[in-house]
Amino acid sequence: MLTRAIVRPPAPNFAAGLSAAGLGAPIFGLALEQHARYCATLERCGLELTVLAADADFADATFVEDTAIVIGDLAILSRPGAPTRLGEVARIAPALEAAFERVHAIAAPGTLDGGDVCQADNHFFIGLSERTNPAGARQLAELLTREGFTSTIVDLRDVGGFLHLKSAFTYLGDRRIVAIEAVATHAALSGFEIVRVAPGEGYAANLLRLNDVVVIAAGFPRLRAELDRLGYAVEPLDMSEFRKMDGALTCLSLRF
């Protein structure tokens, strides 16, 4: 059961962050409203929030998931692959040091974004991307092995069309993975039941299992219908302003 989460609202310069979405600039006031609804959903699902102050020094800082991987009593500080985001790790480190008994860190020359790490029970998928390089992936895999977990490094750089591994697939629980068609038959996912995201609904592959509730991005009726059919309690959230900045549901929190 998840009991806590760390979040950070967007700063007024949110629109200055990194994005290749091509969907236009986010509306800051609407982004704040969407973030508040996101936080309220986490709380309704039983999570106590640590809400960090908005950080105008780093326009992408609301996407806290990229700064760390959290497991049990351990936090692993990442080393983001975008140079403009490196300083975000030092800003969030005190909150992680207060919440976790042990803190490790990815070191140069490794780079690693938390969005490239997907936990499926005791197994971790680590994606190679424009932001996570082989050295960073290997460091994380070695740390996970020492902690008693297994992992698979998944190179999806040739697939294209998404920023992070969790833009292509996320873990639903119950040995099920929700995946876009381009990766649904990938060998790394063998052994899991694959819930395929319909063409045109790829953004919805990034979903969030919060205890007994599955949170999905609003506006994707075919995936919603499939999750309903499978018996999940589903809550859709409007993510329009974060989508404009290449962000999605998992990006906005560190959950533990």
| Region 164-169 average pLDDT | 98
Rg (Cα) of the chain, in Å, rounded? Answer: 17
What's the rounded Cα separation, in Å, for the pair 161 and 156? Answer: 10
> What does the pLDDT look like over 198-253, one tens digit per residue?
999 999 999 999 999 999 999 999 999 999 999 999 999 999 999 999 999 999 99
Task: Indicate the SS3 state at residue 168.
Answer: coil
| Region 45-68 average pLDDT | 98
45 in active site: no
| Region 46-72 average pLDDT | 98
Q: Residues 4-255: name the CATH superfamily.
A: L-arginine/glycine Amidinotransferase; Chain A (3.75.10.10)
Catalytic residue (choose from 39, 45, 118, 251):
251
Angle (nearest 5°) at CA 183 between 182 and 189: 160
35 in active site: no
145-149, 158-162, 220-224: range with lowest mean pLDDT: 158-162
pLDDT of residue 161: 85
> Does the pLDDT at position 7 exceed 90?
yes
Would the pTM count as exceeding 0.85?
yes
Catalytic residue (choose from 35, 39, 164, 186):
164
| Region 166-171 average pLDDT | 98
Contact yes or no for 132/112 (Cβ under 8 A): yes
| Region 101-108 average pLDDT | 98
Type of residue found at 201: E
**Residue 160 confidence class, pLDDT cut points 50, 70, 90:** confident
Bond from prior residue into 109 cis (ω within 30 degrees of 0)? yes
- What are the residue boundaries of the structural domains of the chain, listed by start? 4-255
